[in-house]
Structure 1
Amino acid sequence: MHLGKSYKFSEFLFWTRRQIYGLLICGSVPVFLYKTLGLTWLSVPLTVVVLLGTATSFIVGFKNAQTYNRAMEAQHIWTSILSASRLWGIVARDFPVDLQVSKELVHRHLAWLTTLRYELREPRIWESTDKPFNAEYQRFYSIPEREIELQDLLPLYLPSTEATQVLSSLSKPTQVLSLQGAAISRLLASGKINGSFYMELERTLRELIDLQGSAERLKNFPYPRQYATINMLFVRFFCLLFPFGLLQEFNKLNDSVTGLMHGNMVWLVVPFSVMVSWMYTSLEQVGESTENPFEGGANDVPISMLCRTIERELRDMLGDAEMPPMPDQAAIVVL
């Protein structure tokens, strides 16, 4: 998540510079063929380009609206996880008589948060984190899940036998919740907790399972590929045809100018076509970098920071002196 007031215009230009290079070529080639080689038949009626641009605007806007909704849903899911975690911490602290039992319940919950964020950071083939325009921006931030291995963290929260069991399971977060459910059942059977406490924990476990499933749905089911493909094709076709639609229009301006630009007005097609086309390609690139809110990009939901916040709050409830450090307050991007 970007913590600044906004991205700088220079940052945005640098981030999209590869698109700009391509647009410069797309704008220069038609003008060169039209002006230098005299291939005036290459001009495309502007009406055709306008119709294509209108259709492209609709589909690009639709994609960005949907990717924004995915990002907002991801924020809602993790806000709910934050609230449910606080409830779990309060109940786990207040109901059991034995403080050690409270710590075990809280630490196992922290293990669930850890395995969940590691699962959500696993790469998918449709994600864009490793694309050049996103990969180079990672010099401004780090992805915690790629710096420390999960097997090095789990022993901080779980006994060695449980940690081994979790690491060898197919779904690590689900396995942790399964262990949590078995643990509270044993506590009920041994009389260390009463029935009302058991039911409250079971209700919270069910909520956590639902939230995990919602997060996994966003992770494992991308923005529909057919819409993503047609969006890309429309933008590409528009950027290719747009300069051809401007050739005659700018050539007509030669009748109203004198001096150096007389006879050369058609060359203005290059900067103007680049500016307009850049808006479309930038919208497409923004949508692509937003549609997967857990991939580890600069615009992701900061699940690592939220997990660290939850851990600090729950440890504080239990009176633990050791607190994980919060991220650098001066950081531009936190995850």
Structure 2
Amino acid sequence: MIVTRNLRLRQVLFYSWKSLAYFFALAVTIYVLHHELAIKDLSVPFEAVALLSTALAIFLGFKNNSAYDRWWEARKIWGLLVNYSRAWGREVLTLSLDEDDAPDAELSAWQRRLVYRHIAFVHALRVFLRQRHDYNQITDEWLETSNTYEDIRPFLTKEEADEVLSKQNPPNYLLMIQGRELQEAYQRGWLSDYRFVKLSSTLTEFNNHQGMAERIKNTPFPRPYSFFSRVFVYLHGTLVPFAFVEVLGVFNIPLAMLINYIFLSLDQIGERTEDPFENRAGDTPLTSISVTIEGNLKEMLDEPELPEKPPRLKGVVF
């Protein structure tokens, strides 16, 4: 997620330099043909381009609103995951008691195991949604450790980690193991009927959060919007230099570039917002949220060493 107010030129040009090069070459070519080679009849009515500009602005506005809704829904899902993760830690630590209403070493180990396994679930869900997309557009490098299932191993036993990572859906399998642990605790008397149901309902919420996130990940933004917005932006950008070449002369080149850059930026904003789980600069900061959850839960366990949040990378939080 980009948190700095000012975008770096490299970030902007990473996505748009090819299109800008095309629009610049087109504007220069039209100027040379009309004013240097005296080829007439190269202009198109300004009114036609203005009408197309209005229609394109409305279309891009609708597309960007829809894309932002997907991005914001993803952020709300992970915000709920933070809240329910804190609730899970509190419930595990306060609702489970042994028969004498006093925690013993075995119960404490069980509580720590459930909390740590949930931390593993959060990190596994992050990796599962990003599908190992480790390319960083800011530094033009492949990230080696930012998105790997190895992040869950410190929170599980080696045998359990190997078992989980052998599954097609590791985060879902971790929730199933949590359910087994709750059943075992109920049978041993650590959880009453009500407390077992309460913890199980919280576990179900994690299934809901994963399912909602997978819905966004696996349902692409309607492709006709993406395809036709790109077509219309290029069609409009191609016509813009023809609308001003007659009256502006050489100044037609910077004006055409400015107008085309505005519409190109609007189109690119929607393109980079519609898929919030791709580990790109503008996506939902899953790594930062995961570390926040890890720190909150470890603090509930009174552990002295808490994880540090990942630093901003040139104004971007991943």
The question of a shared fold, defined as TM-score above 0.5 by the shorter chain, is answered with yes
5+ residue gaps in structure 2?
97-102
Verify the 8 A CA contact 2:244 2:252 in the aligned structure 1. yes
SS at match of 1:275: helix
Offset of 1:187 from its aligned partner? 1.3
Aligned to 1:137: 138
Q: 1:230 aligns with which of 210, 219, 228?
A: 228
- The aligned counterpart of 1:282 is 265
Deviates more, 1:159-168 or 1:291-300: 159-168
Equivalent pairs counted in the alignment come to: 308
Quote the Cα distance in structure 1 between the aligned partners of 2:235 and 2:214.
34
Partner of 2:77: 77
What amino acid is the match of 1:82? V
Contact 1:140 1:333 in 2 (8 A): no
**Residue number in structure 1 paired with 2:58:** 58
Distance across 2 between alignment mates of 1:27 and 1:123? 41
Q: CA RMSD in A?
A: 2.2
> TM-score with structure 1 length normalisation?
0.85
1:165–1:286 CA distance, 2 compared to 1 (3 A):
same
- Seen in structure 2, the aligned counterparts of structure 1 residues 12 and 314 have a Cα distance that, compared at 3 Å, is closer
Query: In the alignment, residue 5 of structure 1 is paired with which amino acid?
Result: R
Which position in structure 2 is the counterpart of 1:122?
Answer: 131
Q: Distance in 2 between matches of 1:13 and 1:307?
A: 28
Q: Are positions 1:159 and 2:160 aligned together?
A: no
User: What residue in structure 2 maps to residue 221 of structure 1?
Assistant: 219
1:326 aligns with 2:309: yes
SS of the counterpart of 1:246?
helix
TM-score by length of 2: 0.89
**Which runs of structure 2 are paired with 1:97-246 in the superposition (5 Å)?**
97=103, 98-122=107-131, 136-138=137-139, 144-146=145-147, 149-150=148-149, 152-246=150-244
Matched, 1:307 2:290: yes
In structure 2, the CA distance between the partners of 1:190 and 1:13, relative to structure 1 (3 Å rule), is closer
Shift of 1:154: 2.7
Any stretches of 5+ residues in structure 1 without a counterpart?
Answer: 251-264
Q: Distance in 2 between matches of 1:11 and 1:155?
A: 36
1:317 equivalent in structure 2: 300
State the 1:103 CA deviation: 0.4
Matches of 1:238 and 1:75, distance apart in 2 = 34
The one-letter amino acid of 1:28's match is V
Q: Secondary structure at the match of 1:327?
A: coil
**1:37 aligns to what?**
37
Select between 14-23 and 319-328 the one with higher mean Cα deviation.
14-23
Mapped to 2, the partners of 1:136 and 1:176 lie a distance apart of 32
1:254 is matched with which residue? none
What percentage of residue pairs aligned between the two structures are identical? 30
Aligned to 1:21: 21
**Does the 8 A contact of 2:186 with 2:193 survive in 1?**
yes
Cross-structure match for 2:99: none
